[in-house]
């Protein structure tokens, strides 16, 4: 299982709008393309600093990700989603994470 983690920074005043776009457009388009929604988390909006928002998606492997990407580029909602969220964020990263399995603890 691969996790795709998008972490963005938005002005605190725009955090609710960003989250609404993720919920109403992002989740339907990504799950429709074949990704699984894992989670969405934020830092506190009342600290006097930008809010960081992390959205996590899951899929089996990079072959599956390539299928998802193909489905996304064929879906007009993907472009609307990109336009809307890119106008709200000030920075961000996208990273692929892979689970690590640890063996039994040493005795």
Q: List per-block mean pLDDT (blocks of 10 residues) for the chain, which spans 107 residues.
A: 97 97 98 98 95 98 97 97 96 95 75
Number of neighbours of residue 97 by Cβ within 10 angstroms: 12
CA distances from 17 to 23, 74, 86, 91, 99 (A): 10, 25, 12, 16, 31
Strand, helix or coil for residue 47: coil
Task: Tell me which residue range forms the domain holding 43.
Answer: 2-98
Number of structural domains in the chain: 1
pLDDT value at position 102?
A: 83
In a domain, 13, yes or no: yes
Cα–Cα dist 76/106, whole Å: 52
**Geometric angle at alpha carbon 37, from 32 and 41, rounded to 5°:** 140
CATH of the domain at 70: 3.30.70.100
Does a structural domain hold residue 106? no
The answer as to whether 105 is a domain residue is no
């Amino acid at each position: 299982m691969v996790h795709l983690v998008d972490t963005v920074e938005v002005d605190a005043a725009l955090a609710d709008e960003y989250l609404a776009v993720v919920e109403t457009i992002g989740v339907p388009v990504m799950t429709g393309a074949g990704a699984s929604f894992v989670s969405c988390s934020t830092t506190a909006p009342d600290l006097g600093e930008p809010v960081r928002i992390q959205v996590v998606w899951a899929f089996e492997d990079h072959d599956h990700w390539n299928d998802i990407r193909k489905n996304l580029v064929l879906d007009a909602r993907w472009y609307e989603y990109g336009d809307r969220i890119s106008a709200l964020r000030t920075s961000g990263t996208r990273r692929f994470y892979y689970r690590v399995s640890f063996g039994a603890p040493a005795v």
